[in-house]
Amino acid sequence: MPILVSNFNHSIIWIMDVIINYFSDMPTLHRSLMLVGGLTVFFLIEQAVPLFKINYNRASHTLLNLFFTLTTVLVNFIMAFILVYSADWVVANEFGLIQWIPMPLILKAIIGLMLMDLIGAWFVHWVEHHVKWLWQFHVIHHTDQHVDTTTANRHHPGESVIRFIFTTLAVFIVGAPIWLVFIYQSMSLILTQFNHSNVKMPTWLDRALELVFCTPNMHRVHHHYRQPYSDTNYGNIFSFWDRIFGTYVRVDNKKLVYGVDTYMDKKQTKSVWELLKIPFTGYRQPIQYDKEEQL
């Protein structure tokens, strides 16, 4: 038994070394392939087993969302040196939670990844829904009335900057080395493409995955056009944050209507220029309904 335990420990250490070495110096090409590959895979799966079969100009819809995907990539590329410098600084100065608390490397990776997701994804998402001027940037993401995998990175460039700031804040709080940052960003990229995809999943598979990860069936309600449903299920990688903070709901996905009720004019939601202007055109108060909706 001691030999088996020793061999298991050595295997874990070896695996962690391989992961750390790869993500510490992850090639830009590999990150690009992950973005393009993920979109391609989920795009094809959507064609094979879609949840919603709706006739619309998919080419136009995809090109619009790819424009915002490219602006997201550009913003993150321009500001990447800040993230790298921050990650190097917290390690050099032993700053942040996982630097202060002694723990095995694999535990640092798991806890660090969870906290990066909490601060850099869940919390900033929640804040964007509750601070009016931040919502005016985030609402562009919600104006998509045909949510699919390309919706994942439909973010106003201003929101990309906001999310980058929160990710950098997470690096300092967590004490995340660059390999952990790249693991987080890679998982975040793939999971957001996955949980926005228009894929019909078997119930058993969805329920199993949702114990840990955000699935399409969980996240779709967040894109329903009316509150309070659009203020639920904020998660990106991990599903348990919404359960912990009381923002989790489960609904019949087939009853959902995508978009946001304050911006349903297709002339505005299908125009790059009109979408780019939204944050600077004034806050629109939520629409009040006589009857609460039940999904």
Predicted pLDDT of residue 7: 56
Cα distance between residue 152 and residue 95, in whole Å: 32
3-state SS assignment for residue 285: coil
Q: Are 125 and 167 in contact (CB under 8 A)?
A: no
Query: In this structure, is residue 71 part of a structural domain?
Result: no
Percent of the chain exceeding pLDDT 90 equals 75
Residue 208 domain-assigned?
A: yes
**pLDDT 10s digits, 28-72:** 888 888 888 889 999 999 989 988 887 888 889 999 999 999 999
Sign, CA dihedral 121-126-131-134, equals positive
Mean pLDDT of the chain: 92
Q: Report cis status (omega within 30 of 0) of the bond before 228.
A: yes
Q: What is the pLDDT of residue 29?
A: 83
pLDDT, one tens digit per residue, over 241-252 is 999 999 999 999
CB burial readout 139-170, b (16+ within 10 A) else e: bbbbbbbbbbbbbbbbbbbbbbebbbebbbeb
Q: Tell me what pLDDT residue 122 has.
A: 98
Q: Which amino acid is at 49?
A: V
Q: Determine, yes or no, domain membership for 139.
A: yes
Q: Quick one: tokens of 119?
A: 């601060």
> Could you tell me which of 243, 185, 190, 184 has the C-alpha nearest to residue 212?
243
**Number of independent structural domains in the chain:** 1
For residue 120, give the DSSP letter: I
pLDDT of residue 10: 65
The HSE-up count of residue 146 (CA atoms within 13 Å, CB side) is 18
Which ranges constitute the DSSP H helices of the chain?
Answer: 2-24, 28-48, 58-92, 97-100, 105-117, 124-130, 132-142, 157-174, 178-195, 203-210, 216-219, 240-244, 266-269, 272-277
Quote the pTM value.
0.92
Q: What is the largest CA-CA distance in the chain?
A: 68
Q: Is residue 242 part of a domain?
A: yes
Q: Whole-angstrom Cα distance, residue 193 to residue 184?
A: 14
Q: Which residue has the higher pLDDT, 14 or 116?
A: 116
Model confidence at 6: pLDDT above 70? no
What's the mean pLDDT in 189-203?
94
Residue 21 pLDDT = 82
User: Is 2 a domain residue?
Assistant: no
Domain limits for position 224: 78-279
Mean pLDDT of 79-100: 95
User: How many CA atoms lie within 13 Å of 30's alpha carbon, on the beta-carbon side?
Assistant: 10
Amino acid at 210: E
Q: Which amino acid is at 181?
A: V
- Give the residue-averaged pLDDT of 183-203: 94
DSSP string, 143-204: T-SS--GGGGG---HHHHHHHHHHHHHHHHHHT--HHHHHHHHHHHHHHHHHHTS-B---HH
pLDDT of 9 reads 61
